[in-house]
Each structure stands twice: as structure tokens, then as C-alpha cells.
Amino acid sequence: MIALRGATTVDCDCAEQIKERVKELLCEIKAKNRLDENKIICMIFSGTSDIHSYYPAKAAREAGFYSCPLFSALEPEIDGSLKLCIRVMVLAETSAPAEHVYLHNAAALRKDITQIINIALDGPAGSGKSTVSKILGKKLNILCLDTGAMYRACALKCLNEGVPANDEAAVAKIMEDISLEVKYADGVQRTFLDGKDVSEDIRKPEISMLASTVATLRCVREKMVALQREIASKTSCILDGRDIGTNVLPNAKFKFYLTASPEVRAQRRAEESRAKGFNVPYEQILQKIIQRDNQDINRKIAPLTVAGDAIIVDSSSMTVNEVVAFIENKIQEKI
């Protein structure tokens, strides 16, 4: 079961507009969440005390929501609160992520979900960006774009075509007709290379260094950055990468740089790899991390660096939950 939130306002306390706005709100909730009416368990409305002309629940019935129980309540009068506002909670049987809907002046109540917000989360390999990004994306109900996956897919393409990742002319040629798509299944990113889902293949350890190498090339970066900007312009998302705050979205409202000492990052990776049943020695992982950091930091185009206006989070002695809570607080402060 899911609880969908929604709110709208009316310009005046008049029955016609209450009916119209309630209908609009419910239709939007239904459409955004692809809800069948028979999946709706009930709807609970509340209205501010300046609304007298019509029950929102009655308006819902008249809007065609016949089968579910409806209830309307009156909200207390709170100083400074939004006027002429109708709120709803729709309980429904679905497991899809909730798309809450805030319309008209009620959009101001939840700027986080009514504005397009982009969150740049940069940092070196193993700093915990993707873990944090996935949790935050879920909490804020926005997409997570793992931009590293895109460079990894380019590296896989090089491997498949037998092209050395540092041969700019040859890579430029395969980049001309590469088909790279990012899709989402149940909110989880899947990366498609030339029509094939390569989400697992690109996670192989040998792809990491190759991705870092291919990411030094202008022909690759230009194509990936254009795709990342296009996605970010259409929807609220958290983008994790190396150059999001400095290059991809220099005007992003929220910028974080997540880091940790190379030793801590290597330790985390070693634990991850043990959990997957591999036994890669810690020293080897540490050496690879340092090598990759060097390449990402020292490349000529869009190197890994802290944006001047980014908040630095050193997670060396923080838990994942602490990092998430810290970033979430900073976002809420600024919204």
C-alpha cells in the first residue's frame, strides 16, 4: 500500500472552483501514479478553515471517484499558514514509488517536489557517492543518475570493439554511432549499450580503470555531458560523478563533494568485494584507487576537483546514514 500526498489551493471560497480544483488534483495524482480507480483504498481530505462552500470529498465524488470511501476534515486555523488550501491523502494498492502532487499556491509547500532540482554529488572512487545517491534519491523521490555508469559503458564499447581506450581517433570513430541509453526500472538505473542492458557487465573491476581512461577524451566527455544535461533539464535528479558541480551543471542549486581517505575507500571496496565472494587483496584495491584518483584528478578536461560552492563531506569516520542525514539537512535548509 502507498500513501500519496497532494494539495491545491483555490483563489476564492466558491463551490465551482473547489469542484474544479479537487478534480484537477485527483486526476493529476491518478495520472502521475498510473492508478486504476479500483486500486484506490480511500481518500482523506482536509481543508483550511477559510473554505466553507463545498466539501472536498463531495467534489471528489462528483469528479467521478465513486467506489472508494472519502472523508473530509477541517484544519485548525494556524497563523501564517497557506490560505484556501485543500489537502488530500490517497491510500492506494501499488508498489510503485509515490508521485506526490502539489498544485497552484500549494506548490510552495513542497518546493522540493514541484521545482526541478538538481543535486550534484561529486567525489573520488569509493567515497560512497552511489550508495548515498540511491538512498537520497529514494527519500526525495527523485531520479539518481550515475554518470560513472555512462563512462563505464563507453569503456565496455571500446573493449567490445577491440579499441584501446586511450586511442582518441579510434574512440572518436566508435563514439559517432554509439547508442547509450539510461532507463529506469522501479526507480533503479539500467544502462543500455547498443540496445543491450549492460548494467552488470560495466561493474567488472577491469572496466573501472578503462572508464577512467576513456573519460579523459574530449569526444567521449562532450557526448556524455550533453546527455547528462538533457536528463537533468527535464527532471529533478541527483547526479553522481566527478565533474557535475564544476562542469556538467555549474549552476546546480545543491553541490556536494563526498570524499574519504584512500585507505578508508579501499577498505570499503575490499568489504564490498568480499561480500560478492571475491577475494581481492586490500593492497591491490588501494593501489588501484590511488591510480584512478591520479588519472581523474590530473586529466586535462573537466578533472575531478571540488567546485568552489560545493559542500565538502568527509565521510572517513561517518556512517552512510550520517552522510545522508547531513546532506538531506543541507538541502532542506536551502529549499
Q: Report the interface residues with ligand DC, using CB under 6 A.
A: 125, 147-148, 151-152, 208, 211-212, 215, 241-244, 292, 296
Provide, rounded to whole angstroms, the least separation between the CB of residue 241 and ligand DC. Answer: 2
Joined grid coordinates for residue 47? 481543508
Distance between CA atoms of 54 and 40, rounded to whole angstroms? Answer: 22
Q: CB nearer to ligand DC: give 48 or 118.
A: 118
Q: Work out how close the CB of 78 gets to ligand DC at its nearest, in angstroms, rounded to a whole number.
A: 44
66 Cβ contact partners less than 8 Å away, ≥ 6 residues apart: 37
Nearer to ligand DC by Cβ, of 60 and 220: the residue is 220
In terms of CB distance, is 151 or 257 closer to ligand DC?
151
User: Three-state DSSP class for 194?
Assistant: coil
Instruction: Give the nearest distance from C-beta 292 to ligand DC in angstroms.
Output: 5
Q: CB 321 → ligand DC: shortest distance, Å?
A: 21
d(CA 325, CA 333): 12
Of 7 and 121, CB closest to ligand DC: 121
Closest distance to ligand DC from the beta carbon of 129 (Å): 7
188-193 vs 180-185, strand pairing mode:
antiparallel
Q: Judging by beta carbons within 10 Å of its beta carbon (0-12, 13-18, 19+), is residue 31 exposed, middle or buried?
A: exposed
What are the DSSP E strand ranges found in 54-205?
70-74, 85-92, 101-102, 118-122, 143-146, 180-185, 188-193, 196-197
Which string of b and e fits 133-151 if b means at least 16 CB within 10 Å?
bbbbbeebebbbbbbbbbb
**For residues 113 and 232, which CB has a smaller minimum distance to ligand DC in the complex?**
232
Q: Least Å distance between CB 244 and ligand DC? A: 6
Least distance in angstroms from the C-beta of 275 to ligand DC: 18
Please tell me the distance from the alpha carbon of residue 293 to that of residue 193, in angstroms, as a whole number.
26
For ligand DC, the closer of residues 140 and 154 by Cβ is 154
In the complex with ligand DC, the residue whose CB is nearer, 1 or 300, is 300
Question: Residue-wise over 158-190: b if at least 16 C-beta within 10 A, else e?
Answer: bbeeebebeebeebeebbeebebebeeeeeebe
Minimum gap (Å) between residue 148 Cβ and ligand DC: 2
Cβ closest to ligand DC, residue 22 vs residue 264: 264
CA 153 from chain centre, in angstroms, equals: 20
Residue with cell 465551482: 16
Q: Of 87, 113, 82, nearest to 11 (Cα)?
A: 82
| Nearer of residues 70 and 125 to ligand DC, judged by Cβ | 125
The nearest distance, CB 208 to ligand DC, in angstroms, is: 6
Nearest Cα residue to 288 out of 158, 55, 125, 176 = 125
